[in-house]
Structure 1
Amino acid sequence: MSEIEVTDDAGLRTILLNRPDKKNALTRAMYAGMRDAMREAAAAPSVRAVLITGGAECFTSGNDVNDFRTRSATPDDSGPTPARDFLFALRDCPKPVVAAVAGYAIGIGTTLLLHCDLVYAAENAVFRMPFVDLGLCPEGGSSLLVPQRGGQLLANELLMLGEAFAPATALRAGIVNAVLPTGELLATAEGVARKLAAKPPVAMAATKRLLRGTGAETLTAHMTEEFAKFSELLRGPEAAEAVAAFQEKRKPDFSRFLAAE
């Protein structure tokens, strides 16, 4: 069974994260699968809309820790990576993209939602952007988009404290469109995606492009800057301590590190 299941039906492409035993923790191979699925959706005339989901139990718990540790040991991760390529493919997709979020949406599980067009969350959804706690910085354009949507103070709270937050807060932050009973999530999100898939494709693509406005270049530059700093921090001692503490099941100790001047 594939960890990324892609199905096409009547113009709707569904991308299902399917690694339930690991709470849909993402590996490089999974990012590559999602990247390819998004690029194919963008190019295929038969695909009119995309639905991204992790099913009814968990969206994604974020990066796979073992895969994450391998990345941190890589001498230079500043160039293209499957994760980065996936986020850009998602952002650049001319077709409407709907996300259905149940359970955990951690790290990139939250930030990828910023590049979807419509996002529906179940009442059991749990969001978190714990980048600082991992010795990292925000990614995926989140340090630009979250303040724009939810305001600077709320963005500070979500990205600097990095604590888990409820669907109601995600709604206030402009990350999700609506919060639904868990049992209604998938049917509702799929219904919306099918409505979008039935609409005129050329008009839909033009509307999406116009809605994104003139900020595309700014967002690209910001995401590029984030990824460069993220890559630098990923190979740094704070990230190494965070990952080691997680694997050793202890609280990380950052007391020996000095603040940058």
Structure 2
Amino acid sequence: MTDHVKVEVEAGVMTITLARPEKKNALSNAMYGVLADSLEAAEKDPAIRVVVFQADGDSFTAGNDLQDFAAQASGAFIGERHVGRFLKALAHATRPLVAAVQGQAVGVGTTMLLHCDLVYVSPDARLSTPFVNLALVPEAASSWLLPARVGHARAYAMFALGEAVDGATAVAWGLANGSAELGDLRARARAAADQLAKRPLGALTITKRLMRDAEKIAELMDGEGALFGERLKTAEAREAFMAFMERRPPDFTKVG
């Protein structure tokens, strides 16, 4: 358990709030555990009809906690990694998922949005998937879902060059449903969630199932995850994490 994720249920809506603003809501293994547990619980509780993701502070999430990554790369990490459980819970979620996104949404902060049914962003939102910058590869089935959403050229620039997408562009590209000023963002997402909570859940569930191939998505996650794990053990990844810890640019030419 962790205090860095808050979970509340009201009027059929489970609201999951990332609450580690001092670290830009970087996701630790413990936080992934709560996220996974919450989505799994929502699937089992008929009283929960919609799930909303939101975050405290000026960022949605800076992505994975790089200290956790570094520990995995060095072999020092001990215990169950919960990120896989969270991603699979996203893949198999039958409840509508809504997100309110402000500021930075890095890595999984963007790829998880590809599994949400409604996404609202603030104008200052910056969605990015800079996996290659860390000598890693896409995850959360984003290698398929992102190009399918925005096209190969845009997706490749986001993956390979780490190009960020602002709030207005996210809406224009179909990564988000709409934009709202920061002070109105949570209310916009909650209003949408409340509307969904009043819709027939059976019809919503079947509609979502028709629109998504959950098994294909989960299978792709497994393939990406295996490659991701292999990449964590490479000399390139060690250089990337060492450079981050030493606050310097990485030099991949010396490990190529």
TM-score (norm 1): 0.92
Task: Find 2:220's aligned residue among 219, 222, 225.
Answer: 222
In the TM superposition, residue 56 of structure 1 has moved relative to its aligned partner by 5.6
Task: Tell me, yes or no, if the aligned pair for 2:21 and 2:57 is still in contact at 8 Å.
Answer: no
Structure 1 counterpart of 2:242:
244
1:179–1:56 CA distance, 2 compared to 1 (3 A): farther
In the TM superposition, residue 241 of structure 1 has moved relative to its aligned partner by 0.6
CA distance in 1, matches of 2:174, 2:64: 23
Bigger mean CA offset, 178-187 vs 19-28? 178-187
In the TM superposition, residue 125 of structure 1 has moved relative to its aligned partner by 0.7
Structure 1 counterpart of 2:196:
196
Structure 2 counterpart of 1:153:
153
Task: Tell me, yes or no, if the aligned pair for 2:103 and 2:124 is still in contact at 8 Å.
Answer: yes
Structure 2 counterpart of 1:82:
82
SS at match of 1:66: helix
Task: Tell me, yes or no, if the aligned pair for 1:28 and 1:83 is still in contact at 8 Å.
Answer: yes
SS at match of 1:7: strand
SS at match of 1:249: coil
What residue identity is the alignment partner of 2:174?
Answer: G
Structure 1 counterpart of 2:21:
20
Once the two structures are superposed, what CA deviation does each residue of 1:190-236 show, in whole Å capped at 9, x if it has no partner?
11011111111112211211122xx3333222221111100000111
Task: Tell me, yes or no, if the aligned pair for 1:55 and 1:186 is still in contact at 8 Å.
Answer: no
Bigger mean CA offset, 164-173 vs 197-206? 164-173
In the TM superposition, residue 95 of structure 1 has moved relative to its aligned partner by 0.7
Task: Tell me, yes or no, if the aligned pair for 2:68 and 2:77 is still in contact at 8 Å.
Answer: no
Aligned residues: 255
Task: Tell me, yes or no, if the aligned pair for 2:20 and 2:56 is still in contact at 8 Å.
Answer: no
Task: Tell me, yes or no, if the aligned pair for 1:56 and 1:186 is still in contact at 8 Å.
Answer: no
CA distance in 2, matches of 1:28, 1:242: 20
CA distance in 2, matches of 1:33, 1:217: 23
Structure 1 counterpart of 2:230:
232
Structure 2 counterpart of 1:32:
33
CA distance in 2, matches of 1:232, 1:70: 14
SS at match of 2:165: coil
Task: Tell me, yes or no, if the aligned pair for 1:55 and 1:102 is still in contact at 8 Å.
Answer: no
SS at match of 2:218: helix
Over aligned residue pairs, what C-alpha RMSD do you find? 1.9
1:83–1:27 CA distance, 2 compared to 1 (3 A): same
Bigger mean CA offset, 239-248 vs 176-185? 176-185
What residue identity is the alignment partner of 1:202?
Answer: G
1:74–1:163 CA distance, 2 compared to 1 (3 A): same
Bigger mean CA offset, 111-120 vs 63-72? 63-72
In the TM superposition, residue 76 of structure 1 has moved relative to its aligned partner by 9.6
